[in-house]
Amino acid sequence: MTRPVFISALMLSLALSGGAGATATIGQPAPDITLTDVDGKTVHLADFKGKHVVLEWNNPQCPFVKKHYDSGNMQSLQKRYDAKDTIWLTINSASTKSREFMANDKLKAYIAGQNAAPDAYLTDPETRVAREYGAKTTPHMFVINPAGVIVYAGAIDSISSTNKDDVKIARNFVVAALEESKAGKPVSVSNTTPYGCFVAYQ
């Protein structure tokens, strides 16, 4: 799919009400998540109370996602925070009705091929969790503090491009949110507009 098509899809996703009825609000408790990972294990967000949690919406076919994986940026962040009382959950909410839907075996191969290191790669084929969180794009990022409160939601960084060289010069909002929250400080930028490909609700 060409870049203009993805850009058009992004514009459409921001205009549609894919996140209508979303209950995820910054400064409020994060909606609970119960999803199955690609290995068939059930994962509950509630089990991670007392730790920071990062939610990363993912679509392997999206060029904006590829930017952060081909550059090694996303994997680096996953590994950087793995040993710092942080849980990283990657979520694929491509509907079974969409062209972006991938079976678990293909997703497992994708994770291995990318040398990705989330604590779990979760599938949300009914898009229930995506709707609860109002997830619009891939990537769309959320940071939840140890009290279970959402402290950041939005873009991964400040440059909305598909150019992997921009990763080096962009301000990473997720890193800033995690570091400030871990230091007991208010998150200075708690909400930004996410960029990327639309979440494949249908």
CATH number of 180's domain? 3.40.30.10
Count of domains observed in the chain: 1
pLDDT at site 22: 75
Q: What's the whole-number average pLDDT of the chain?
A: 91
* Separation CA 91–CA 130 (nearest Å): 9
pTM of the complete model: 0.90
Could you tell me the pLDDT band of residue 21, with boundaries at 50, 70 and 90? Answer: low
pLDDT at site 84: 74
Could you tell me the pLDDT band of residue 25, with boundaries at 50, 70 and 90? Answer: very high
pLDDT at site 29: 97
Signed CA dihedral, 72, 175, 163, 89: sign only? positive
Report the percentage of the chain scoring pLDDT > 70.
Answer: 90
Is residue 59 within 8 Å of residue 100, measured between CB atoms? yes
pLDDT at site 16: 40
pLDDT at site 168: 97
Domain that includes residue 158, residue range: 3-198
pLDDT at site 154: 98
Could you tell me the pLDDT band of residue 36, with boundaries at 50, 70 and 90? Answer: very high
pLDDT at site 30: 97
pLDDT (mean) for 8-26? 55
pLDDT at site 187: 98
Is residue 93 within 8 Å of residue 130, measured between CB atoms? yes
